[in-house]
Amino acid sequence: MAMPTPATVPDVESGAAPLSAAPLATGRSPRRLFTGPVILSIAFLSVVLLMAVFAPFITKISGWGPYTFDPTAVDPATGGIPIGPFGGISSEHWFGVEPQSGRDIFARIVYGARVSMLIALSATLLTTLLGVLFGMLAGTFGGALDQVISRVMDFLMAFPTLIFMIALLSALPNINRPLMLITVLSLFGWVSMARIIRSQTMSLNRREFVEAAHASGASRAAIIFREILPNLSGSIIVIATLAVPTFIGVEAGLSFLGVGITPPTASWGQMISASVPWFTAVPSYFLIPGMFLFLTVLSATVLGDRAQKLIAGGHRL
């Protein structure tokens, strides 16, 4: 499938390879944390996060709520095309208005950020917890438990995730969509984390310092929490950081297909979907949510990549 689904996120998978390897063979190992692109990414993500957190205040300042219709901003003679240049951009409507309804696009972008961040961050938190838990269980105890967990993971990897998510979401009743999206994304999303944690736990278990801890009489819990987990933290941070943009993308994709966040709640993917019939007449209608989605995913990916390079180069985060 064209969209990376969380169970088979290829860049998380392939990106995980160099984690255990020696410093990346890029000639010189990266030292600086804050490069130009990283600073830009952090700045952009901060803006999006602030929009998400303070959405009601921001729309109070801008003057238009996400659900308020403004019939004066669209031209009924042309079938509802926004009045003014670039989709009706004015001091009143900062990003223009939707065709026909005249709803303020700025307000919908701000509220869309809220949905996007809520779902992506919750799903990341949940998949990280599940992934680390199951990965460490399988890696530490091995045997039958490992067999069961590994088989479940194999099964989830073979699953046509996107089709199934769509079918599941379309069958589920239409209440609390964000919670359902988080659940469905997490159900399939923990596997990529768990697979890497499992194999790294296994190799850590064979290392001398773990053996030494065993020999000095440390309890199993002490070994897990004092020896293994701190050594996994780098990988966990990297995979979690790279999972955020994936979940943002998948949520937007599902909403674009009409099975994610349902109207009237604003979501970037659903805004792009609504703009399709208008894309020749009002290009700003798809360009604005599209660019927000693109830049958000891009910034989060840049951060994840940087974290991965630094850790591969022997840094601790």
Q: Is 4 in the site for other proteins (CB under 8 A)?
A: yes
Q: Is 167 in the site for other proteins (CB under 8 A)?
A: yes
Q: How many residues bind other proteins (CB under 8 A)?
A: 58
Q: Is 146 in the site for other proteins (CB under 8 A)?
A: no
| Token duo for residue 113 | 């950020």
- Please tell me the distance from the alpha carbon of residue 93 to that of residue 252, in angstroms, as a whole number: 24
Question: Of the candidates 274, 280, 240, which has an alpha carbon nearest to the alpha carbon of residue 260?
Answer: 274
DSSP secondary structure letter of residue 229: H
User: Is the CB of 58 or the CB of 282 nearer to other proteins?
Assistant: 282
- Partnered with residue 43 across adjacent β-strands are none
Of residues 5-44, which lie at the interface with other proteins (CB under 8 A)? 8, 10-11, 14-15, 17-18, 21-22, 24-28
Q: Which of the stretches 78-86, 117-125, 207-215, 252-260 binds other proteins when contact is defined by CB under 8 A?
A: 252-260
Of residues 77-116, which lie at the interface with other proteins (CB under 8 A)? none
| Token duo for residue 311 | 């850790």
Residues 6+ apart with CB under 8 A from 53: 114
Residues 6+ apart with CB under 8 A from 265: 111, 115, 177
Tell me the one-letter amino acid at 138: A
For residue 49, the number of C-alpha atoms closer than 13 Å in the C-beta half-sphere is: 11
Given candidates 63, 65, 178, 290, which one binds other proteins under the rule CB under 8 A? 290
Given candidates 50, 213, 298, 313, which one binds other proteins under the rule CB under 8 A? 298
Q: Is 237 in the site for other proteins (CB under 8 A)?
A: no
User: Is the CB of 132 or the CB of 180 nearer to other proteins?
Assistant: 180
Given candidates 70, 294, 313, 315, which one binds other proteins under the rule CB under 8 A? 294
Of residues 258-287, which lie at the interface with other proteins (CB under 8 A)? 258-259, 269, 272-273, 275-276, 279-280, 283, 286-287
Smallest gap, in angstroms, from Cβ of residue 210 to other proteins? Answer: 25
- Please tell me the distance from the alpha carbon of residue 54 to that of residue 51, in angstroms, as a whole number: 5
Smallest gap, in angstroms, from Cβ of residue 27 to other proteins? Answer: 5
Smallest gap, in angstroms, from Cβ of residue 70 to other proteins? Answer: 24
Q: Is 178 in the site for other proteins (CB under 8 A)?
A: no
Give the residue ranges of DSSP H helices in the chain: 10-20, 36-53, 55-62, 85-88, 105-141, 143-158, 161-171, 177-205, 208-215, 220-222, 229-256, 268-275, 284-312
DSSP secondary structure letter of residue 206: T
**Residue given tokens 């209608």 in the structure block:** 285
- Partnered with residue 75 across adjacent β-strands are 81
User: Is the CB of 79 or the CB of 277 nearer to other proteins?
Assistant: 277
Q: Is 1 in the site for other proteins (CB under 8 A)?
A: yes
Given candidates 50, 125, 168, 218, which one binds other proteins under the rule CB under 8 A? 168
Q: Is 293 in the site for other proteins (CB under 8 A)?
A: yes
**Residue given tokens 């955020």 in the structure block:** 244
∠ CA(311), CA(121), CA(178), 5° rounding? 155
The residues binding other proteins (CB under 8 A) are 1-4, 8, 10-11, 14-15, 17-18, 21-22, 24-28, 154-155, 158-160, 162-164, 166-168, 170-172, 245, 249, 252-253, 256-259, 269, 272-273, 275-276, 279-280, 283, 286-287, 290, 293-294, 297-298, 301-302, 305
